[in-house]
C-alpha cells in the first residue's frame, strides 16, 4: 500500500487510525488492507 502510493507507512497508519470504525487499530489495519486488495482486484477486471 505504501509503496504503490509512494506514501510513508506511518502516514497510512495514521489515516487508518483517524478513520477507523473498528474497536482497535490492528483490526482497522486488517480491514484497510483487505479493502485495498479488493479494490486492486476489481481494477483488474
Per residue in 26-41, pLDDT (tens digit) is 999 999 999 999 999 9
* Per-position DSSP letters for 4-44, written without gaps between them: HHT--HHHHHHHHHHH--SSSHHHHHHHHHHHHHHHHHHHT
Per residue in 4-34, pLDDT (tens digit) is 889 999 999 999 999 998 889 999 999 999 9
If 0-12 CB within 10 Å is exposed, 13-18 middle and 19+ buried, where does residue 13 land?
Answer: middle
Q: Name the grid cell of 15.
A: 489515516
pLDDT at 42 over 90: yes
Q: Name the grid cell of 39.
A: 479494490
What does R_g of the chain's alpha carbons equal in angstroms? 11
> pTM for this one?
0.80
Amino acid at each position: 500500500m505504501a509503496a504503490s502510493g509512494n506514501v510513508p507507512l506511518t502516514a497510512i497508519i495514521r489515516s487508518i487510525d483517524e478513520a477507523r470504525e473498528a474497536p482497535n487499530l490492528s483490526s482497522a489495519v486488517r480491514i484497510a488492507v483487505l479493502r485495498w486488495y479488493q479494490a486492486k482486484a476489481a481494477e483488474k477486471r
